[in-house]
Amino acid sequence: MTKDVTLSWPMIPGAKYYNVELSSNPGFLTTVATARVTAPAAKLGVAQTGTYYWRAQAVTVKGEENWHGGTVVVR
């Protein structure tokens, strides 16, 4: 059964879209879900409970911004 994880972050002015990654590894060696969204929020699905690490990166006309993220626990 897939569990939904809802993530949100501050809006970056001028963002065309955001790259979002979810991983069970804090170094993001592998990802369990990825998305490209136009709003500063995403809903991703995970198959297992546990601790996940997420990050979002705004892409503007100037290029890619720094990653912002955190940790989420799925029960």
Residue 42 exposure: Cα atoms within 13 Å on the Cβ side: 22
Write out the residue range of the structural domain in which residue 8 sits: 3-74
Per-residue confidence (pLDDT) for residue 30, from 0 to 100: 96
Nearest to 36 by CA among 61, 13, 16, 54: 16
The tally of domains found in the chain comes to 1
Convert the pLDDT of each residue in 11-31 to its tens digit: 999 999 999 999 999 999 999
CB-CB contact of 15 with 59 (8 Å): yes
pTM above 0.85, yes or no: yes
Quote the CA–CA distance of 73 and 66 in Å, as a whole number.
23
Per-residue confidence (pLDDT) for residue 1, from 0 to 100: 82
Residue spans of the chain under pLDDT 70: none
CB-CB contact of 70 with 28 (8 Å): no
Quote the CA–CA distance of 5 and 7 in Å, as a whole number.
6
CATH number of residue 14's parent domain: 2.60.40.10
